[in-house]
Structures are given as C-alpha cells and as structure tokens.
Structure 1
Amino acid sequence: MNNVGSLVSVDVIALRYNAELRRVELATKPRTTEPYLGVPALPGVLLREGERLAAAAHRAVISKVGFDVSALGQLTVFDQPNRDPRGYSLSVAMWAVGDGDADWYGFDDVPKLAFDHNVMLFECRPLLVDMLWRDLEFTRALTGAEFPVSAAVAITHTLSGIAPDRGNLNRRLASLRGLAVSSKRMVLGRGRPGTVWEWEHPAA
C-alpha cells in the first residue's frame, strides 16, 4: 500500500565532496508544495505504510533533488512538537552521499531552510564529523575510490569547521582498514608530488 503514515517523515542530508571548490556540500531544493512553498529544504518525504527508512531516503533524494545515492544511513530522530505546521510529526534524519543537479551549499553557507532543517544540520553535523574516518561506508562514499591528502584535509576541515593537524590525519589514514598509499602521485603546487590514497576494491 502507498498510504501515507501518521506524519513520520524521512529527511536526508545528501552530501558530496566538491573537488573544484575543495569542500563538502549538501543538497537542497525549493519546496514545490505547501507548507513552505518555494522555501529551500533538505530532500524529504513522508514515510509510507510498510516502507523501510532506506527506501524512503532513496525516494526522497530521487524525487526531490533528482539523483540517486551511492550510500546512506541513519543519524537521529527529531520530535519537537511544533516542527511541522501540518501537525505533530517525527522526522528521521538520514545521511546520503551522491551527486547531481541540486542547489549545493557548504555547511557554513546554508540559507534559511523549511521546517526545522537548519536545526537538523546543526545537530547532525557533529554526528557526521564523528563518522568521518570511522564509518568506512560513509568515508569511502565521500572520498571516492582514490583521493589526494589535500582532499582528506579539505573534507575534514569543511565538514568539521576545524583545520586538522596533518600529521594526526596521516596517521589516521594509515590506520584505516582497506586504505593504502597508491603508487600514483598527484602534482601539487610548484611541481611537488603529493601522496594519493586508494581504497581496496570491496570483496565480490
């Protein structure tokens, strides 16, 4: 059945790493229905009867910002009584990684969003920071199959808001299961070769 459940929503913080701008970005799109018609929002949907959270998150990203995701997971639940003008609702906040034609913002540049989505970002950002370099599914999806050290620095800095210590970051990278220094090198400024890290291919 496709009946809408009793106002349980799934809202997705859909992320990508923008290598050109060297920052982690999140996707929004203006809402096309009331409430908050025309106001930018995170992609979200009301949970259908019998629908799994992951399926709803996929549906939210595909239907609201027009692209699929390479990985996703659950973050936390928001239950403030006045968070939705349509009535009392719960929102399950999810993370996803993907890329496509959306309105992309850095965490520190996000405009005023619909519902309590700015609160969601504020409260979920530390959770995402804690996942980086710990949750390998999340980290691999964000970095891609291979990445230079400069990307690791930029991802850490723009997601956390704090510039990482490079020595500590390199030690963290070296400790990760399935991650190794590649034989490739990337030319940085002034012709200096930079280290490239690559993930092992997942087991078939």
Structure 2
Amino acid sequence: MSDSFRDSSGKRLSDYPRPSVAVDTAVLTVPIGGPLSVVQVRDQVAGDWRLPGTFVHEGERLADAVLRSLRDKAGVTGLAPRQLHVFDDPSRDDRGWVLSVAHLDVVPAAALQTALEARVTPVSEATGMVHGHDDILEFAVAQLRADHRGAPDPHGLLPSPFTMSALRGLHEAVLGERLLPDSFRRAMLPMLTATAEKRAAGPGKPAVLYRR
C-alpha cells in the first residue's frame, strides 16, 4: 500500500504501533494405552519446555510459519495444522506485545516422529509454560474434547477397524473421564459401520470390529 495512504484520522499505517505476530501449535496425540498428550520442545537458550512456535517472518504466510516451526523445532513434518484461535491480550507475553495465532493438529501416535529436542508429554503435566502457552494448550484440549463428545474418533487416532472397547478407551483418554460402556455404545453405534470381522481380546466371545 502506498505510503501516501491516510485513514480518516489523517494517520498513515506507519503511525500506528504494531504488535509482533507469533504462531504456536498444540500437536495432540494419544499414545497406545496412554493419556492425552502434547508435543513440547525444549528452548535452546532458556532450557524450558514449551509448545513449538515462532515469530512470523516478513512476507511469510501464517501456515508456512507453522510448518517451519514444527519442522525446525520439533522435527515434525507432514502435518496439516488448522488455525484455532488468536490470543491477543497485550499482557499475555512477557517479551512484549505479541499476538499468537494458535494452531491445532491431532496426530496418531504411530505417525508422530519428533526430534531429540522434543518430547510427547501428558497434557496434565504440560503446565507452567512461558508466553501464555498454558492458555493455548487449554483451549486446544477443550476443542478436541468437544469434537470427541459428538463423534467417534473424529480425528482418526485409532487404526481402523477397531473394537468398541478400544474406541471407548480412546474417548476416555481424550476426555479424561470414565465412560459407561452401555451408554457409550448406544451413542456411538448409529455413527459406526460394523464389519464382518471379529477380534479375540482375552476370554469370552470375539469382539465385533467397526469402522467410522
């Protein structure tokens, strides 16, 4: 835009203070038999654990900055994060006025490979992070839980086909609560397709396998 542009107050764009813009990503997963977890990276200077993120470079798209931060800081590639929320409280970041455009991706544990300076940790233990990352993670987890209350494994964390028991176990891990088997089954069955396959899982009759 031309520097000759002036708004209704007679000011140019350069007359206004500008925040820095960052992107931060919550990459969530559920390890087999484990709890809902998140990818964290260790800061090379401060040594603390935080969400992978970066400042957006001049002329860079948000989506490209997200993929760059995941690749360079977490060693994670091949993801497709979606924009989640803009955190714009001017006091949220102790480094100064920083807008964070938060992103979310949900990835099967088997497909998640991280760098040495990254780890997958339970969300319940991922606290005390700098730059408002706790708030970003809390928002991302709330969104993921809302997704799972309305659909069976909406992000494809389970390999298909799967048993009803495995599906319930996944939802319990995501929601962080126990679910009544009969109630869960009644809620999920209308959204699943039973296959002709069955799987033995200990004593008793083999369990029916389902697809989403």
Which bracket does the TM-score occupy, shorter chain normalised? 0.7 to 0.9
Q: Distance in 1 between matches of 2:60 and 2:184?
A: 39
Does 2:202 match 1:196? no
Q: Which residue is equivalent to 2:147?
A: 131
> By how many angstroms is 1:158 displaced?
2.0
The one-letter amino acid paired with 1:13 is A
Q: Which runs of 5+ in 2 are unaligned?
A: 1-17
Change (3 A) 1:183 1:130: same
Q: In 2, distance between residues paired with 1:91 and 1:50? A: 17
Decide which structure has the larger Cα Rg and report it.
2
Structure 2 partner of 1:107: 123
Listed one character per residue, the Cα deviations across residues 38-64 of structure 1 (whole Å, up to 9, x for unaligned) are: 110011121233433333322222222
- The offset of 1:191, in angstroms, is 5.1
* Number of residue pairs aligned between Structure 1 and Structure 2: 188
- Asked if 2 retains the 8 angstrom alpha-carbon contact of 1:186 and 1:194, the reply is yes
Aligned pair partner of 1:13 in 9, 26, 39: 26
- State percent identity of aligned pairs: 26
Q: Deviations over 1:129-167 (max 9, x none)?
A: 11226579x823423443332332222222222222333
CA–CA separation in structure 2 for the residues paired with 1:154 and 1:139: 14
**What is the CA–CA distance in structure 1 between the aligned matches of 2:59 and 2:75, rounded to whole Å?**
24
Distance change in 2, residues 1:169/1:48 (3 Å): farther
Counterparts of 2:161 and 2:80, CA distance in 1: 17
Normalising by structure 2, what TM-score? 0.74
In the alignment, the residues of structure 2 paired with residue 44 and residue 182 of structure 1 have an alpha-carbon distance, to the nearest angstrom, of 42
Residue aligning to 2:133:
117
Provide the C-alpha distance between the structure 2 equivalents of 1:157 and 1:195, rounded to a whole number of angstroms.
20
Instruction: Give 2:37's aligned residue.
Output: 25
Q: 1:12: how far off?
A: 0.8
1:139/1:82 CA distance change after superposition, 3 Å: same
Partners in 2 of 1:48 and 1:17 — Cα distance? 32
Measured in 2, the distance between the counterparts of 1:12 and 1:63 equals 13
What aligned pairs does 1:3-82 form with structure 2 within 5 A after superposition? 6-19=19-32, 21-33=33-45, 37-82=46-91
CA change 1:44–1:153 in 2 (3 A) is: same
* Native 8 Å contact 1:76 1:92 kept in 2: yes
Counterpart position of 1:94: 103
Match runs of 1:113-192 below 5 Å = 113-132=129-148, 134=150, 139-176=154-191, 179-190=192-203, 192=205
Kindly indicate whether the alpha-carbon contact (under 8 Å) linking 1:81 and 1:88 is maintained by their aligned counterparts in 2. yes
**Contact conserved, 2:30 with 2:173, CA < 8 A, in 1?**
no
| Runs of 4+ in structure 1 over 4 Å off | 133-136
The structure richer in strand per residue is: 1
SS in 2 for 1:18: coil
Do the aligned partners of 2:30 and 2:174 also contact (CA within 8 Å) in 1?
A: no
Three-state SS of the structure 1 residue aligned to 2:157 is helix
Whether the 8 Å contact between 1:77 and 1:91 is mirrored in structure 2 is: yes
How many Å separate the matches in 2 of 1:181 and 1:86? 53
Q: Call closer, same or farther: CA 1:11–1:135 in 2, change over 3 Å.
A: farther
